[in-house]
Amino acid sequence: MALYSDKVMDHFQNPRNVGKLDDADGIGEVGNAKCGDIMRMYIKVKDGVITDCKFNTFGCGSAIATSSMATELIKGKPLSEALELSNQAVVEALDGLPPQKIHCSVLAEEAVRAAVKDYYDKNGIAYDPEQFKIHDCEHCHD
Q: Among all residues, which ones are annotated catalytic?
A: 35, 104
| Cα torsion through 56, 59, 65, 69, rounded to 10 | -40
Q: How far apart are CA 70 and CA 64, in angstroms?
A: 10
Task: Tell me which residue of 108, 76, 63, 75 sits closest to 89, measured CA to CA.
Answer: 108
Give the count of beta carbons closer than 10 Å to the beta carbon of residue 72: 16
User: Interhelix angle for 6-13 vs 61-74, to 10°?
Assistant: 90
**DSSP letters of 125-137?**
----GGGGPPP--
- Characterize 89-107 residue by residue with b for buried, 16 or more Cβ atoms within 10 angstroms of its Cβ, and e for exposed: bbbebbeebeeebbbbbbb
